[in-house]
Structure 1
Amino acid sequence: MRNPSRNLFLLLASGLGLPAVAQTPAQPPARSAVIEAIKHQPNPAPLVEEPLYKREYTAVKPAYAVPTLKPYTGPKKPLKNIILLIGDGMGPTQVTGGLIANHGQLYMQQAQATGLSITCNQYGKITDSAASATAMATGHKTYNGALGIDSLGHTFRTIMWDAREHSKSTGLVAGCELTDATPAAFAITHPDRNQPEAIAAKFLAAPIDFMYAGGLKYFAHRQDDVDLLAQYRAQGYQVATTPAAVQALTSPKAIALLAETGPPRMPERTAAYMNLGVSKALDLLSRNKNGFFLMIEGSQIDDAGHFNNTTYNVQEVLDFDQQVGRAFAFAAADGETLVIVTADHETGGYSIIDGGMAEGQVTARFSTNKHSAVIVPVFAYGPGSELFTGMYQNTEIYTRIRQALGWK
């Protein structure tokens, strides 16, 4: 099978005067490299007729049924667990596209509270994932590209450290490289998101117990020949690089890296990749009687926006929504879990111009191949969900989680 991402990268690289490094089909270019190349290209010219799959998505029947979740009704319990789901690049229209494509049903509809997050960076400009994830992880705005650090060099402690200090287990599950902006912002501090090997080395000292993502090359096949996975084993972590090995994990201290760079896109990977990671994370982290903090990222909604691809966009939103459903169901069953669903920013200036729920048809256009300033949704479910209504800066995600947990 041809690798369109690799071909696009080589084309963009030549146009930008960048060296085109030869790679085998089994070693596609890093997801982050492809996206960075796209960001430097002009916005798509208007009125150019694109392939149908990039403009339109049609599903004859729903991709999945959405049963009604019955909220927990047992004895009131103190809040113990936090599940934060971040749909990278998921603005209100992306959610609408998923809703239409699935014939009017999403798990996100069952949220008990809804709000809006303002995503601008430290300077009031359109944010990137690093600055926005830093805001949600630390409560501080910063410049684009920064992970837990601002333009003056101040470093900020991520909420994962707070969780560890309260004896909670911590976890990251992502549909991208572990070193990519959003997961990295919850784990480490670094001035430049585009240095994956340096970021990978810092993960060894991060307050994260369970990690599930791509990016194996930055940990095991590095340019400096250092095997970081051997160091993880020395620290008592279980290591997995295949789905079967993930299934066999028994400790919440584990690192699972299932792709050299980013995991394949939907529908090639099917939803099984994210299902496996989320299921294993919930299984292992929930064994801690003090609770856990789990961040799950639907990473490739953003990619679909950069590629201006409606079919890809809808598929990724539906994949992400199924993980939302798993988290909501977990919270509904135990009564001590708060789930927050939001986005770091919107990507693509996405607009739905035709289609309908009866047909499951989405016809859409993009106004840019970059991020936009669009306010993004916040959905909450479980105890403390009422704190997430209203319109507020993305730093409030951090503040309101701490408030829900009673942390000063």
Structure 2
Amino acid sequence: MQKANLALGLLLGGLWACSSPRSAAPSRSAVIEAIKHTPDPSPAAPVPLYKTEYQAPTAYQVPPLAPYSGPKKPLKNIILMIGDGMGPTQVTGGLIANQGKLFMQQAQATGFSITHNQYGKITDSAASATAMATGHKTYNGAIGMDSLGHQFRSIMWDAREHGKSTGLVVACELPDATPACFAVTHPDRNQPEAIAAKYLDAPIDFMYAGGLKFFAQRQDHVNLLKQWEAKGYQVVTSPAAVPSITSPKAVALLADTGPPAIAERTAAYMNLGVDKALEVLSKNKQGFFLMIEGSQIDDAGHFNNTTQNVQEVLDFDQQVGKAFRFAAANGETLVIVTADHETGGYSIIDGGIPEKKVVAKFATNKHSAVMVPVFAYGNSSELFTGMYENTDIYYRIKKALGWPEQKTQ
């Protein structure tokens, strides 16, 4: 057991070195897969304080948002926000740490999503993201397809066919499970180079993520960045170059694997990506479909790290505030905030709002079966109340937009 824990520690340690262009760090998927095959933490083992407690140094302001009150407009833009691993307790942790206020509280409609996979088992990110992107349940590890090889059409294809621009902004590698399910189909989420190659034909205009090595430092020595440029995409590989993006057809890959955790990066990583996506995608008069993922809430759950968990939720919530403000300003945008699953069996056992302190325990270092929240704001938000399967998110978005059902690609 000691040797296994040492090996896992070395593997996890590599994750934080991902910002080096020559880093040989493992992919996020490889790290999470390693964790899934380790025993749950022993209650008797000593746990560092930062993993069980977090006290926020400050709280950010959450001013009230006045919902759009102008003339009724048709729905034009969709912003789907996925807090990977964010169950109800993760939201509660953020609420406590920010002195009882989150932007998520200002949702105009609230529901619950039931996340089990095709077989009624606890889902992974791939199966759940496939459900939300395509309206189909599937097996864990599947990207947009099922065990019989049926390929399911991502809602991004519908957006493109209706003349909309499309975008992905994520705090993980671009070939990782959640973004990939909105872009491509593949039988196994753990083949990032194969998934990366399929992005060249994906219905996505704007991409902002990590995972540079799967496109530019591949084992087959093919430089996919050059192929993207040949297709008319603007490609940047550093945060300093992101402001130069002027077209919705752009790829920003800003880390070799995944971006560093919130405590090591600044919140500017997601701020920069969401700001740029809204800027360039909103140029399209037909509207846009943007998926934003707070990817590393899930990592914090797998690592049983309370400090990182709260910080990532607060980082994500500030992007939610940005999306809600955008929707409030124009009256033609629907924002849906949800999760693919809960991670860690997270439980808050002490602390409080006055001191901005969260004391928590984890039941597991894997996913759980807990239902996850759905918060909706803006045009047609009323469609997202109730308790429903995660596949319903796909169908309710299509209903809001007046798009007919299309099941296979």
Q: What's the offset of the Cα at 1:253? A: 0.2
Distance in 2 (alpha carbons) for counterparts of 1:357 and 1:346: 23
* Number of the residue aligned with 1:395: 391
Post-superposition offset of 1:24: 9.7
Distance (Å, rounded) in 1 between the aligned partners of 2:290 and 2:18:
35
* Secondary structure, aligned partner of 1:179: coil
Q: Deviations over 1:270-318 (max 9, x none)?
A: 1100000000000000000000000000000000000000000000000
| Aligned with residue 298 of structure 1, among 283, 294, 300 | 294
Residue of structure 1 in register with 2:47 after alignment: 50
User: TM-score normalised to the size of structure 2?
Assistant: 0.94
* Aligned counterparts of 1:8 and 1:240: Cα–Cα separation in 2: 39
Question: Judging changes above 3 Å, is the alpha-carbon distance between structure 1 residues 48 and 336 closer, same or farther for their aligned structure 2 residues?
Answer: same
Relative to 1, partners in 2 of residues 1:92 and 1:14: Cα closer, same or farther, differing over 3 Å?
A: closer
Match in the other structure for 2:100: 104
Matches of residues 34-183 of structure 1 in structure 2 within 5 Å? 34-62=31-59, 64-183=60-179
- Aligned alpha-carbon RMSD (Å): 1.7
SS at match of 1:333: helix
Relative distance call for 1:228 and 1:9 in structure 2 (3 A) is farther
Name the amino acid aligned to 2:344.
G
Count residues with an aligned counterpart: 395
Which residue of the partner structure matches residue 407 of structure 2?
Answer: none
CA distance in 1, matches of 2:317, 2:165: 24
Partner of 1:233: 229
Alignment of 1:2-401 (within 5 A): 11-12=7-8, 26=20, 27=23, 28-62=25-59, 64-401=60-397
Distance of 1:147 and 1:76 partners within structure 2: 37
- The 3 A distance-change label for structure 1 pair 243 and 104 is same
Task: Provide the identity percentage.
Answer: 77
Deviations 1:313-353 (A, max 9, x none): 00000000000000000000010000000000000000000
More divergent stretch after superposition (374-383 vs 263-272): 263-272
- Equivalence for 1:3: none
Question: 1:138 Cα shift?
Answer: 0.1
Q: Which amino acid aligns with 2:319?
A: Q
Offset from partner CA, 1:120-148 (integer Å, 9 cap, x none): 00000000000000000000000000001
Contact 2:18–2:255, Cα closer than 8 Å, also in 1:
no
8 Å CA contact retained: 2:19, 2:256: no
Q: Compute the TM-score of the two structures, normalised by the length of structure 1.
A: 0.94
> Secondary structure at 2:314's aligned position in 1?
helix
State whether residues 348 and 368 of structure 1, in contact with CA within 8 Å, keep that contact through their aligned partners in structure 2: yes
Change (3 A) 1:24 1:331: closer
CA contact (8 A) 1:349 1:368 kept: yes
